[in-house]
A and B are shown apart, each in its own frame.
Chain A
């Protein structure tokens, strides 16, 4: 059997149906095998970074492994941002890259780069397969490693002579043997018992849930426990959707742009039960002042996460779904107590609010609320990075897990459109909406063509504030409005010390997103005022193919609540620049 056939068979045995890819010299033999293949769908992206984000969106929206295939050298280096994005958010993908011939490795051959070296710090595991006899085993291991334990990206680098080589008596292995890799699934019963005991006795308990709930598929177990015990809960950006946003015990997202009630509950609880959440600094704020009165319990499949950032009294290493099911058996009904009522009251008293006048340009929050109102119940949202991402986290009514895809850990601009594309390919029956800023949208805007040609019906909402809004917000609040290189309308003859939109501003904004859409074979729509938002959304959702919806939004809107970097998370700016404590 040929190396290329071994690879295709391995992919099929692993249940792969779609590959996002880009060809080049050393992988021509593999693309040649794909040319003759009738089962695997290969989508030709327009940039390798986008191919990896698409594989990532495919994986986030389904829980299955996403696959990207690229050539050596520049093809390989172009994947790095995508791989790091998947690593920081624990997303299972396999990235296959071609490599120069074995004989040329180490000679600075044409388009040679040390892919397994480059990916080492940004992936869960990496392989260089220098012998065809290892090929089957490596694929088996790679898929297993990517999706088991704490999921993550795996890189497989294959010299071109291994792709063209042949071997006899080949069989795809049916199991893996990895003595150094044995994820713990069931939690330690003693710790779980201890945790149950603390839960039963705590005065002010709080669940802090994260991406691990989604990865584990533990949303049902989570809801059963919070409802049984009447314990309020918060969810990180990565966990959004694991509970319906309107669940009565849900306090929303905590952290830098977290809700008042969520942050105050984190600070005042006496028992904090983290489940599949990693105490990221966007969530904890000043760690030395974080949750000062709380006993901390931490359920996580990755032992290295426990005790990494905060001292943990009750560590439980294991899969969230497993551990929560065992925990539930030990818990008894708890009445809603004074604490629970108090935090729910905080939630009620601090609703999100923004300004919106009639017949004016829309507030970005209004656009998100409208999307939320008009989207299908099971729509999947993929965001880019910036203010619109935070507005989407806060104002979208999350309903289902694996329906909010966002680059949280790396914060990769350019993620939204290709990730939505991957989700759309994986879920042809669902409505897929990308929510992007005008900055980040341009970072992978070339993928519109891919959507058009492959009938990938992504509805891309571009919230155009004409700024790199999130950075402008920091300059606005902390840097005395020094709007340094954040204006996307700025030209070389603009005054150097501009502090915001004024009568001298250049007349034209580029690019014209509607024209860009049309030039790519995609429908383009624009809403200039609040009144047009709904009709643009309706028209777009009714259209069978991909659409770009450009929403002009208020230029200098800031995201609130906001906790300035380095502050404790109850030192919240609520929008009128008043610090609420």
Chain B
């Protein structure tokens, strides 16, 4: 069964390391849902978060292949791992033409942050677990999502 998996990697910050990672994944015929790379506490080491929708076996194979890249230090599939705190950041522009007060209530309930409030729409940002983000987007969907930008998921180990 295909499922969303979040893979977290520690990589050496070399020229072309991202090209190697994305190249390897497309070369093996997989699609990337999202990917983020950013410096870690050590400026020579980057953390890469990669989300793929694939079967367990394929994820295992792709993790092993990624691990083989000389610049990749560690690969962990954190999807079902309770030891990680996972967050995503989103910014969303929502139409406020109908039931504006209901919408405002939802935003408060989810503790989303109002960034702009215009006549026909509003812009909010939110940080949350993948589940909270999903629930929020489901809830505001009926109002009309005009634009959505997501950071993609990233995580930190909590043990």
Contact of B19 among A117, A125, A304 (CB under 8 A): A117
Contact of A307 among B19, B60, B73 (CB under 8 A): B60
Q: Contact flags (1/0) for A151-194 with B, using CB distance below 8 Å?
A: 00000000000000000000000000011110000000000000
- Which of under 10, 10 to 19, 20 to 34, or 35 or more describes the interface residues of A? 10 to 19
Q: Which of B33-80 contact A (CB under 8 A)?
A: 57, 60-61, 64-65, 67-73
Q: Which of A114-142 contact B (CB under 8 A)?
A: 116-117, 120-121, 124-126, 128, 130
Residues B64 and A125 in contact, CB atoms below 8 Å apart: no
Residues B70 and A178 in contact, CB atoms below 8 Å apart: yes
A181 / chain B contacts, CB cutoff of 8 Å: 70
Flag whether A48 is at the interface (Cβ < 8 A): no
Flag whether A302 is at the interface (Cβ < 8 A): yes
Given known pairs A303-B64, A304-B64, A304-B65, the reply for A180 and B19 (CB within 8 Å) is: no
The distance in angstroms between the C-alpha atoms of A266 and B104, with both chains bound, is 67
Give the distance to chain B from A181, nearest Cβ to Cβ, in Å: 5
Flag whether B20 is at the interface (Cβ < 8 A): yes
Flag whether B123 is at the interface (Cβ < 8 A): no
Flag whether A145 is at the interface (Cβ < 8 A): yes
Contact of B12 among A116, A121, A179 (CB under 8 A): A179
Q: Contact flags (1/0) for A455-495 with B, using CB distance below 8 Å?
A: 00000000000000000000000000000000000000000
Flag whether B15 is at the interface (Cβ < 8 A): yes
Which of B12, B68, B69, B71 has the most chain A CB atoms closer than 10 A to its own CB? Answer: B68
Given known pairs A117-B19, A304-B65, the reply for A180 and B12 (CB within 8 Å) is: yes
A508 / chain B contacts, CB cutoff of 8 Å: none
Contact of A180 among B16, B64, B65, B73 (CB under 8 A): B73
A124 / chain B contacts, CB cutoff of 8 Å: 70
The distance in angstroms between the C-alpha atoms of A124 and B24, with both chains bound, is 12
Secondary structure class of chain B's binding surface, majority of residues: helix
Flag whether B105 is at the interface (Cβ < 8 A): no
Residues B20 and A180 in contact, CB atoms below 8 Å apart: no
Residues B23 and A120 in contact, CB atoms below 8 Å apart: yes
The distance in angstroms between the C-alpha atoms of A302 and B69, with both chains bound, is 12
A308 / chain B contacts, CB cutoff of 8 Å: 61
Flag whether B11 is at the interface (Cβ < 8 A): yes
The distance in angstroms between the C-alpha atoms of A124 and B71, with both chains bound, is 11
Residues B69 and A180 in contact, CB atoms below 8 Å apart: yes
The distance in angstroms between the C-alpha atoms of A128 and B14, with both chains bound, is 11
The distance in angstroms between the C-alpha atoms of A126 and B23, with both chains bound, is 13
The distance in angstroms between the C-alpha atoms of A126 and B61, with both chains bound, is 22
Residues A302 and B23 in contact, CB atoms below 8 Å apart: no
Flag whether B27 is at the interface (Cβ < 8 A): yes
Q: Contact flags (1/0) for B106-130 with A, using CB distance below 8 Å?
A: 0000000000000000000000000
B69 / chain A contacts, CB cutoff of 8 Å: 180
Chain A residue nearest in CB terms to B9: A180
Give the distance to chain B from A416, nearest Cβ to Cβ, in Å: 28
The distance in angstroms between the C-alpha atoms of A125 and B24, with both chains bound, is 12
A307 / chain B contacts, CB cutoff of 8 Å: 57, 60-61
Give the distance to chain B from A92, nearest Cβ to Cβ, in Å: 14
Residues A125 and B70 in contact, CB atoms below 8 Å apart: yes
Given known pairs A128-B15, A304-B65, the reply for A180 and B72 (CB within 8 Å) is: yes
Give the distance to chain A from B54, nearest Cβ to Cβ, in Å: 14
Residues B60 and A180 in contact, CB atoms below 8 Å apart: no
Chain A residue nearest in CB terms to B26: A121
B12 / chain A contacts, CB cutoff of 8 Å: 179-180
Residues A121 and B23 in contact, CB atoms below 8 Å apart: yes
Residues A304 and B61 in contact, CB atoms below 8 Å apart: yes
A117 / chain B contacts, CB cutoff of 8 Å: 16, 19
Residues B61 and A302 in contact, CB atoms below 8 Å apart: no
A116 / chain B contacts, CB cutoff of 8 Å: 16
Contact of B67 among A120, A126, A130, A304 (CB under 8 A): A304
The distance in angstroms between the C-alpha atoms of A116 and B14, with both chains bound, is 13
A304 / chain B contacts, CB cutoff of 8 Å: 61, 64-65, 67-68
The distance in angstroms between the C-alpha atoms of A180 and B44, with both chains bound, is 12
Chain B residue nearest in CB terms to A120: B23
The distance in angstroms between the C-alpha atoms of A307 and B70, with both chains bound, is 21
The distance in angstroms between the C-alpha atoms of A361 and B130, with both chains bound, is 73
Known: A126-B16, A180-B70. 17 other contacts (CB 8 A): A116-B16, A117-B19, A120-B16, A120-B20, A121-B23, A121-B27, A145-B70, A178-B70, A179-B12, A180-B12, A180-B69, A302-B68, A304-B61, A304-B67, A304-B68, A307-B60, A308-B61
Those 6 A-B pairs whose CB atoms lie nearest each other, nearest first = A304-B64, A180-B73, A125-B70, A181-B70, A180-B72, A179-B73
14 contacts between A and B (CB under 8 A): A116-B16, A117-B19, A120-B19, A120-B20, A121-B23, A126-B16, A128-B16, A180-B70, A180-B71, A180-B73, A304-B64, A304-B67, A304-B68, A308-B61
Chain A residues at the B interface, C-beta cutoff of 8 Å: 116-117, 120-121, 124-126, 128, 130, 145, 178-181, 302-304, 307-308
